[in-house]
Amino acid sequence: MTQTHYRTHTCGQLREAHLDKEVILCGWLHRTREHGNVTFLDIRDRYGITQVVADESLKKELNLKKESVIQITGTVKKRPEANKNMPTGAIELHATKITLLNPSETLPLDLEGHSDMTEETRLKYRYLDLRRHKMQENLITRHKAMISARNFFDKEGFVEIETPMLAKSTPEGARDFLVPSRLHKGKMYALPQSPQIFKQLLMLSGFDRYIQFARCFRDEDLRADRQTDFTQIDLEMSFVQEQDIYTIMEKFVKQLWKDIFNQELPTPFPRLTYEEAMNTYGKDSPDRRFELHLHNLTTILKKSDFTIFKDAEYISCIILDKEQSRKEIDKATEQVKIHGAKGLAWVKITDTFEGGISKFLSSEIQQQLRKELKLNKGKTIFFVADQKKIVLPALGNLRLYFGKKYEFIKEEWNFTWITDFPLLDWNQEEERYVSMHHPFTAPKEEDISLLETTPEKAKSNAYDLVLNGVEIAGGSIRIHKSDLQKKMFHALNIPEKEAEEKFGFLINAFKYGAPPHGGIAFGFDRLIALITKNESIREVIAFPKTKSAEDLMMESPSDVSPQQLKELGLKKD
């Protein structure tokens, strides 16, 4: 498989079974060590490292810099003392010929560790960074996961279909990347934020099971888990309800973990409604590897003498089973302010309630709290009081802060389905409702009538799959009737003319026998980052952008010539 004109074996292939055989290896000079009249070389490729022994007769060929590309011919011999830390550690190659295929200059980064390297340096010289063992492991794991997914969905009857990269701009969510048309001056294509509409149309075409490893593009501010261009495993199925989606996706994840880790995952995965997740964990993507739940105390604490509690819409708390110093409380306060909370109230539990807001809590309220929260000595209670949409995320962030600080988080794989999302969310800036997921998500059957009266109360047939506090997949049962889709656009305050211009082809398609359908998309980069235990998806993408959406290696985005702009009917201001 690996034998070519240049080599007979890879640098990770040789074992005791190859003793006394003449072989040829090719790779990069990893390191050299002098030992009397003998020089030891390590030659490396992506398969591994082999130790090479060269005597004085090859001295002229040994004046090589690290990372030069070399070819070594020699005989496989048993090592005097095996290195159990190397797969090839039982043997060494006694060189008879060393050929320099290409010399290397001194590298601008250290391949044997990157703690002192800036991310900018790593991304500028990404082709060198990818030589590091950890980076190669990441991308090989990504490859294996992609093969596992393709094999699984092929066996389940899914058809892989590619959808267009140049499509129509339908801004409902993140900004589109626009591509000017040379042939139709003044008009634009948009790169797809997802293949959503195309995959729904494929359901109308009779392809009842669709899959695509889709490249998607969103012009948004970057974070550790975001890139301008990213990959998702995109899926759609006809004649399904939510339970059908859960069943087949759990089966897929179970198979993926079997293929990658040789580990059996327990299924079915637990389920929480959106409301349960927010009220208990302060996030709609909760990390359930540790407890530290939120507790709604609105009814009890609005009766207190504390003005902030009296005036608040919602009051919740978390109970830390540790006493906290003033300095530690100040640090905790910063964690809730990130999410808009004005402050953090607290009280310590000894034989009595001490410090913080204890003086505002009557003996009756203290007694109620002891009973409600099952309090005992040594605990600290942290309260946030404000609008509910501020309280829950603020305490959710504090919960994660404590989880990491005190190492409450267990080393395990914890999957959870989040269901029953609100259909719509109020956008203060635009002064209108926007889709919680997207405008093609079906409302609960029993909530359809609410679209015309109280749309904020409507729940959706949407669901997310969360792994260790990270959303790795999201989807929904779709609207498949034109009259309901029109109602949805009306609830979103999208004028009929605008809806027709943007989505008329979809509404029209629904008239020709659209089956009930639903789907889901896995954030493939996020999934691989979790599998490989990386904080950032940049570690599992071969050539990622920086946080400011730049490619430092290609120096992109870049200027283009006036002639190119003229052909597109564009000019700079």
Query: Beta partners for 211?
Result: 160, 235
Examine residue 284 and state whether it is found in any structural domain, yes or no: no
User: Which residue would you say has higher pLDDT here, 76 or 436?
Assistant: 76
Give the pLDDT confidence score for residue 115 in this predicted structure.
Answer: 62
Examine residue 480 and state whether it is found in any structural domain, yes or no: no
Give the pLDDT confidence score for residue 224 in this predicted structure.
Answer: 61
Which range has the worst mean pLDDT, 125-134, 380-389, 426-435?
426-435
| Cβ atoms of 528 and 141 closer than 8 Å | yes
Residues 6 or more apart whose CB falls under 8 angstroms from that of 40 comprise 32, 33, 34, 51, 52, 53, 54
User: What confidence category does residue 116 fall into, taking pLDDT thresholds of 50, 70 and 90?
Assistant: confident
| CATH number of the structural domain spanning residue 354 | 3.30.1360.30
Same domain, yes or no, for 386 and 299? Answer: yes
Closest CA to 194 of 225, 224, 173: 173
Structure tokens at 439: 């405008």
Same domain, yes or no, for 257 and 353? Answer: no
Which range has the worst mean pLDDT, 148-152, 488-492, 527-531, 553-557?
488-492
3-state secondary structure of 293: coil
Same domain, yes or no, for 332 and 378? Answer: yes
Domain stop point among 376, 409, 442: 409
Number of domains in the chain: 3
Give the pLDDT confidence score for residue 225 in this predicted structure.
Answer: 66
Same domain, yes or no, for 320 and 404? Answer: yes
Examine residue 430 and state whether it is found in any structural domain, yes or no: no
Examine residue 37 and state whether it is found in any structural domain, yes or no: yes
| Cβ atoms of 98 and 72 closer than 8 Å | yes
Query: Beta partners for 73?
Result: 24, 97
| E-assigned strand segments in 429-555 | 432-435, 462-467, 470-477, 517-523
Same domain, yes or no, for 66 and 138? Answer: no
Rounded to an integer, what distance in angstroms lies between the CA atom of residue 313 and that of residue 310? Answer: 9
Closest CA to 89 of 12, 7, 10: 12
Which range has the worst mean pLDDT, 107-121, 143-157, 207-221, 404-418?
107-121
| CATH number of the structural domain spanning residue 134 | 3.30.930.10
Q: Which residue has the tokens 């003229």?
A: 566
| Cβ atoms of 52 and 9 closer than 8 Å | no
180: preceding bond cis by omega (within 30 degrees): no
Same domain, yes or no, for 227 and 298? Answer: no
- Give yes or no for residue 495 having a pLDDT over 60: yes
Domain stop point among 356, 391, 409: 409
Closest CA to 394 of 353, 345, 349: 345
- Give yes or no for residue 516 having a pLDDT over 60: yes
Amino acid at site 108: P
Examine residue 189 and state whether it is found in any structural domain, yes or no: yes
Examine residue 336 and state whether it is found in any structural domain, yes or no: yes
Same domain, yes or no, for 300 and 233? Answer: no
3-state secondary structure of 30: strand
Residues 6 or more apart whose CB falls under 8 angstroms from that of 275 comprise 420
Examine residue 561 and state whether it is found in any structural domain, yes or no: yes
Same domain, yes or no, for 20 and 93? Answer: yes
Examine residue 272 and state whether it is found in any structural domain, yes or no: no
Same domain, yes or no, for 147 and 252? Answer: yes
Domain stop point among 350, 384, 409: 409
Same domain, yes or no, for 50 and 129? Answer: no
Whether the pTM exceeds 0.85: the reply is yes
Rounded to an integer, what distance in angstroms lies between the CA atom of residue 424 and that of residue 277? Answer: 17
Give the pLDDT confidence score for residue 114 in this predicted structure.
Answer: 56
Structure tokens at 31: 């390191």
| CATH number of the structural domain spanning residue 51 | 2.40.50.140
Same domain, yes or no, for 199 and 245? Answer: yes
Give the pLDDT confidence score for residue 376 in this predicted structure.
Answer: 84
DSSP H helices in 231-337: 242-261, 274-281, 298-301, 307-311, 326-337
535: DSSP letter: S
Which range has the worst mean pLDDT, 236-250, 280-294, 341-355?
341-355
Residues 6 or more apart whose CB falls under 8 angstroms from that of 321 comprise 378, 379
Same domain, yes or no, for 253 and 344? Answer: no
What share of the chain has pLDDT > 70, as a percent?
98
Domain region containing 87 = 16-102
Amino acid at site 130: L
